[in-house]
């Protein structure tokens, strides 16, 4: 059996949830889109379900899979992508976002009184959401449609940056627009949870902080460890090259270990040396990442054997800093891990 796995620490997940809850008195919505940020469903649900108010996903397929595991509210973050989606929204009893006028037609064609509507206003991020005038008009219209509940929402553009003035501008604008509306409100994501307490309102939507991809400075821990076993050790003589295009040439006699993981498993493509850990010691990769293999220069270390684990990142790894070496972000590191990498949960 191929030994490549993403270990997931449920203890660290519980820790992160406790950190999040210590920062706010608002209800917590767990953002679990992209297959729980690449970490899969069942075990994580067992931890989150008793402690969160709701979940948030992007696709109907995500919602269907999640509905089999929980009775809590599930928010479809982009709402309907076409009018036919409302039949599934109704049947699955999903919360859904209304952000564009074209989506209203589908609402009028279905009885959605058992659903919770999230009405989105654009406060400056300029992706999704109604203008201030449209928002007020649609709010008054939606009140008449007898939804189970209505939540007013927006999204901060730069919440990770506590010095960015746009955040306070957006918070003030959201306050101004929704001040006379009695419905519940939701603005804060993970960054705002830590940096902008006045943005918390009734429901805080946390994603990356749960999974340890950011905010280590606030006590958040990584919940994942990516590792793969050595499947080959080969002697390479001085002057010989390794891998595609002969991208690396040995400057002296050495040994090259190969592990069964590559960009086909979602690990970022690279051609520059990358540090990995074997038996607690650091070694550098050589050559280009393959679809299914990564090669490592282990020198003449005779204590390393086929079957030893190689750690590509661990629980102590700051994924935000690591992602910079790939010109990427921690979100992408986590969500790119493919389904062919085994997910193993540790208590």
Q: What residues form the annotated binding site for substrate?
A: 127, 291
Cβ atoms of residues 27 and 202 within 8 Å: yes
The dihedrals phi and psi of 235, each to the nearest 5 degrees, come to: -80, 135
Cβ atoms of residues 191 and 210 within 8 Å: no
Which of 33, 185, 288, 343 is an active site residue? Answer: 33
Active site residue 331: no
The dihedrals phi and psi of 314, each to the nearest 5 degrees, come to: -130, -175
**Both tokens assigned to 59:** 């696709």
**Dist CA 228 CA 231 (whole Å):** 9
**Dist CA 6 CA 235 (whole Å):** 29
Residue 75 CB coordination number (10 Å): 26
**Dist CA 206 CA 189 (whole Å):** 5
**Dist CA 31 CA 34 (whole Å):** 9
**Both tokens assigned to 33:** 């889109």
Active site residue 244: yes
Burial of 56 (0-12, 13-18, 19+ CB in 10 A): buried
Which of 238, 244, 269, 324 is an active site residue? Answer: 244
Rounded alpha-carbon distances, angstroms, from residue 270 to 195, 245, 284, 326:
34, 14, 12, 7
- DSSP classification of residue 130: B
**Dist CA 117 CA 147 (whole Å):** 7
Our CA angle for 9, 13, 15, nearest 5°, is 115
- Coil, strand, or helix at residue 69? coil
Give bridge partners of residue 29 from the DSSP assignment.
Answer: 54, 205
State the binding site. 127, 291
Active-site amino acid positions: 33, 244
């Amino acid at each position: 059996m191929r030994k490549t796995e993403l270990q997931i620490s449920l203890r660290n997940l519980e820790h992160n949830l406790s950190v999040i809850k210590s920062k706010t008195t608002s209800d917590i919505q767990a953002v679990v889109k992209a297959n729980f940020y690449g970490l899969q469903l069942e075990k994580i649900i067992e931890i989150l379900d008793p402690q969160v108010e709701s979940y948030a996903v992007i696709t109907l397929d995500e919602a269907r899979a999640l509905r089999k595991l929980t009775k809590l509210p599930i928010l479809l973050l982009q709402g309907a992508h076409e009018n036919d989606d409302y039949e599934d929204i109704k049947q699955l009893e999903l919360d859904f976002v209304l952000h564009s006028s074209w989506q209203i037609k589908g609402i009028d064609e279905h009885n959605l009184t058992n659903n919770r509507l999230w009405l989105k206003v654009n406060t400056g991020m300029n992706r999704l959401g109604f203008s201030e005038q449209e928002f007020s008009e649609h709010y008054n219209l939606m009140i008449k449609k007898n939804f189970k509940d209505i939540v007013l929402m927006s999204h901060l553009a730069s919440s990770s940056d506590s010095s960015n003035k746009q955040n306070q501008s957006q918070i003030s604008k959201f306050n101004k627009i929704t001040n006379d509306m009695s419905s519940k409100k939701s603005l804060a994501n993970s960054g705002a949870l830590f940096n902008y307490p006045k943005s918390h309102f009734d429901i805080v939507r946390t994603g990356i902080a749960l999974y340890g991809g950011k905010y280590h400075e606030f006590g958040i821990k990584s919940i994942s460890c990516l590792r793969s076993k050595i499947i080959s050790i080969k002697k390479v003589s001085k002057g010989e090259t390794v891998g595609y295009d002969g991208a690396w040439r040995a400057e002296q006699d050495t040994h090259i270990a190969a592990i069964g993981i590559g960009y086909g498993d979602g690990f970022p493509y690279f051609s520059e040396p990358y540090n990995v850990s074997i038996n607690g010691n650091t070694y550098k990769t050589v050559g280009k990442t393959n679809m299914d293999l990564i090669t490592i220069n282990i020198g003449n270390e005779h204590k390393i054997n086929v079957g030893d684990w190689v750690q590509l990142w661990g629980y102590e790894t700051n994924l935000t800093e690591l992602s910079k070496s790939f010109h990427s972000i921690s979100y992408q590191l986590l969500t790119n891990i493919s389904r062919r990498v085994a997910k193993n949960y540790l208590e």
